[in-house]
A = this chain, B = another copy of it.
Amino acid sequence: MSMVDITSKAETFREATAKGRIRLRAETVKRIIEGKVEKGDPISAAKIAGILAAKNTSNIIPLCHPIPLTNIRVDVRISDSNTVEVESTVKTRAQTGVEMEALVATAVALLTIWDMTKQYEKDSEGQYPYTIVSDIHVVRKVKKSL
Protein backbone atom coordinates (compact mmCIF):
# COMPACT_ATOMS: atom_id res chain seq x y z
CA MET A 1 0.00 0.00 0.00
CA SER A 2 1.78 3.16 -1.05
CA MET A 3 1.06 6.54 -2.53
CA VAL A 4 2.48 7.44 -5.90
CA ASP A 5 5.64 9.49 -5.33
CA ILE A 6 5.06 12.87 -7.00
CA THR A 7 8.02 14.61 -5.36
CA SER A 8 9.89 15.25 -8.57
CA LYS A 9 6.93 16.00 -10.84
CA ALA A 10 6.61 19.58 -12.05
CA GLU A 11 3.71 21.73 -10.89
CA THR A 12 1.27 22.18 -13.76
CA PHE A 13 -2.25 23.50 -14.25
CA ARG A 14 -4.77 20.72 -13.63
CA GLU A 15 -8.49 20.55 -14.19
CA ALA A 16 -10.96 17.66 -13.99
CA THR A 17 -14.70 17.42 -14.57
CA ALA A 18 -16.85 14.54 -13.31
CA LYS A 19 -20.55 13.91 -13.74
CA GLY A 20 -23.26 11.62 -12.37
CA ARG A 21 -27.01 11.45 -11.85
CA ILE A 22 -29.69 10.39 -9.42
CA ARG A 23 -33.06 8.91 -10.39
CA LEU A 24 -35.91 10.21 -8.23
CA ARG A 25 -39.69 9.87 -8.33
CA ALA A 26 -41.34 12.47 -10.59
CA GLU A 27 -43.16 13.82 -7.56
CA THR A 28 -39.84 14.46 -5.81
CA VAL A 29 -38.33 16.25 -8.78
CA LYS A 30 -41.48 18.39 -8.95
CA ARG A 31 -41.03 19.31 -5.29
CA ILE A 32 -37.42 20.34 -5.93
CA ILE A 33 -38.50 22.58 -8.83
CA GLU A 34 -41.34 24.11 -6.81
CA GLY A 35 -39.19 24.67 -3.72
CA LYS A 36 -41.38 22.36 -1.62
CA VAL A 37 -38.78 20.09 -0.07
CA GLU A 38 -39.36 20.30 3.67
CA LYS A 39 -35.73 19.89 4.76
CA GLY A 40 -34.65 22.81 2.51
CA ASP A 41 -33.31 23.34 -1.01
CA PRO A 42 -31.52 20.15 -2.12
CA ILE A 43 -29.60 22.01 -4.82
CA SER A 44 -27.85 24.46 -2.47
CA ALA A 45 -27.18 21.68 0.03
CA ALA A 46 -25.73 19.44 -2.69
CA LYS A 47 -23.44 22.16 -4.02
CA ILE A 48 -22.04 23.00 -0.60
CA ALA A 49 -21.63 19.36 0.39
CA GLY A 50 -19.86 18.64 -2.88
CA ILE A 51 -17.47 21.56 -2.50
CA LEU A 52 -16.62 20.61 1.10
CA ALA A 53 -16.11 16.98 0.09
CA ALA A 54 -13.74 17.92 -2.75
CA LYS A 55 -11.59 19.80 -0.24
CA ASN A 56 -11.67 16.76 2.04
CA THR A 57 -10.74 14.18 -0.63
CA SER A 58 -7.33 13.28 0.77
CA ASN A 59 -8.97 12.29 4.07
CA ILE A 60 -11.71 10.26 2.36
CA ILE A 61 -9.70 8.39 -0.32
CA PRO A 62 -6.72 6.76 1.44
CA LEU A 63 -3.93 7.22 -1.12
CA CYS A 64 -4.89 10.65 -2.52
CA HIS A 65 -2.33 13.42 -2.10
CA PRO A 66 -3.36 16.47 -0.09
CA ILE A 67 -3.26 19.35 -2.57
CA PRO A 68 -4.43 22.95 -2.44
CA LEU A 69 -7.36 23.54 -4.83
CA THR A 70 -7.81 26.84 -6.63
CA ASN A 71 -11.40 26.34 -7.78
CA ILE A 72 -14.31 23.95 -7.23
CA ARG A 73 -17.58 24.32 -9.06
CA VAL A 74 -20.54 21.97 -8.54
CA ASP A 75 -23.47 22.35 -10.95
CA VAL A 76 -26.80 20.67 -10.30
CA ARG A 77 -29.51 20.54 -12.95
CA ILE A 78 -32.78 18.75 -13.45
CA SER A 79 -32.34 16.90 -16.71
CA ASP A 80 -35.75 15.25 -16.99
CA SER A 81 -38.80 14.55 -14.87
CA ASN A 82 -37.03 11.77 -12.97
CA THR A 83 -33.41 12.81 -13.01
CA VAL A 84 -31.10 15.27 -11.33
CA GLU A 85 -27.60 15.60 -12.74
CA VAL A 86 -24.47 16.81 -10.96
CA GLU A 87 -21.33 18.05 -12.75
CA SER A 88 -18.26 19.06 -10.73
CA THR A 89 -15.14 20.81 -11.97
CA VAL A 90 -12.01 21.13 -9.85
CA LYS A 91 -8.89 23.16 -10.71
CA THR A 92 -5.46 23.42 -9.19
CA ARG A 93 -1.80 24.12 -9.81
CA ALA A 94 -0.22 20.96 -8.51
CA GLN A 95 1.98 17.96 -9.15
CA THR A 96 -0.93 15.55 -9.61
CA GLY A 97 -4.40 15.43 -11.14
CA VAL A 98 -7.71 16.24 -9.47
CA GLU A 99 -10.12 13.70 -10.95
CA MET A 100 -10.65 12.02 -7.57
CA GLU A 101 -11.64 15.42 -6.12
CA ALA A 102 -14.17 15.93 -8.94
CA LEU A 103 -15.55 12.40 -8.47
CA VAL A 104 -15.85 12.75 -4.69
CA ALA A 105 -17.62 16.12 -5.08
CA THR A 106 -20.05 14.56 -7.55
CA ALA A 107 -20.82 11.45 -5.50
CA VAL A 108 -21.32 13.43 -2.28
CA ALA A 109 -23.53 16.03 -4.01
CA LEU A 110 -25.73 13.22 -5.41
CA LEU A 111 -26.01 11.49 -2.02
CA THR A 112 -26.88 14.83 -0.44
CA ILE A 113 -29.80 15.18 -2.86
CA TRP A 114 -30.88 11.70 -1.75
CA ASP A 115 -30.67 12.68 1.90
CA MET A 116 -32.58 15.94 1.40
CA THR A 117 -35.46 14.20 -0.40
CA LYS A 118 -35.51 10.81 1.24
CA GLN A 119 -38.88 11.20 2.92
CA TYR A 120 -40.53 11.39 -0.56
CA GLU A 121 -38.57 8.47 -1.98
CA LYS A 122 -39.37 5.88 0.69
CA ASP A 123 -42.35 3.58 0.17
CA SER A 124 -44.81 2.67 2.93
CA GLU A 125 -42.37 0.12 4.35
CA GLY A 126 -39.45 2.53 4.48
CA GLN A 127 -37.70 1.00 1.46
CA TYR A 128 -36.30 2.80 -1.61
CA PRO A 129 -37.54 0.83 -4.63
CA TYR A 130 -36.90 3.65 -7.08
CA THR A 131 -33.92 5.80 -6.05
CA ILE A 132 -30.56 5.10 -7.77
CA VAL A 133 -27.30 7.04 -8.09
CA SER A 134 -25.54 6.14 -11.31
CA ASP A 135 -23.28 6.98 -14.19
CA ILE A 136 -20.53 8.65 -12.14
CA HIS A 137 -17.69 9.19 -14.57
CA VAL A 138 -14.88 11.56 -15.51
CA VAL A 139 -15.92 13.79 -18.40
CA ARG A 140 -12.53 15.35 -19.04
CA LYS A 141 -9.12 15.92 -17.56
CA VAL A 142 -6.90 18.83 -18.60
CA LYS A 143 -3.18 19.27 -17.89
CA LYS A 144 -1.27 22.31 -19.08
CA SER A 145 2.16 23.71 -18.33
CA LEU A 146 2.05 26.86 -16.25
Cβ–Cβ < 8 Å partners of A48 in chain B? 1, 44-45, 48-49, 62
A6 touches B40 (CB 8 A): no
- Fill in one digit per residue for A1-19: 1 if any B CB lies within 8 Å of its CB, else 0: 1111111010001000000
Residues 1-50 of A at the B interface (beta carbon under 8 Å): 1-7, 9, 13, 20, 39-41, 44-45, 47-49
- Fill in one digit per residue for A46-64: 1 if any B CB lies within 8 Å of its CB, else 0: 0111011101101111111
B128 touches A61 (CB 8 A): no
Interface centre among A13, A111, A140 (most CB of B within 10 A): A111
Residues 106-134 of A at the B interface (beta carbon under 8 Å): 107-108, 111-112, 114-116, 118-119, 126-128, 131-134
B91 touches A5 (CB 8 A): yes
| Stoichiometry, copies per complex | 6
Q: Given A40-B47, A127-B138, A133–B20 Cβ distance below 8 Å?
A: yes
B141 touches A137 (CB 8 A): no
Interface centre among A4, A66, A69 (most CB of B within 10 A): A66
Binding site for B on A (CB under 8 A): 1-7, 9, 13, 20, 39-41, 44-45, 47-49, 51-53, 55-56, 58-74, 91-95, 97, 99-100, 103-104, 107-108, 111-112, 114-116, 118-119, 126-128, 131-138, 140-141, 143
| Complex A-B, nearest 4 residue pairs according to Cβ-Cβ distance, in ascending order | A1-B40, A134-B134, A44-B44, A1-B47
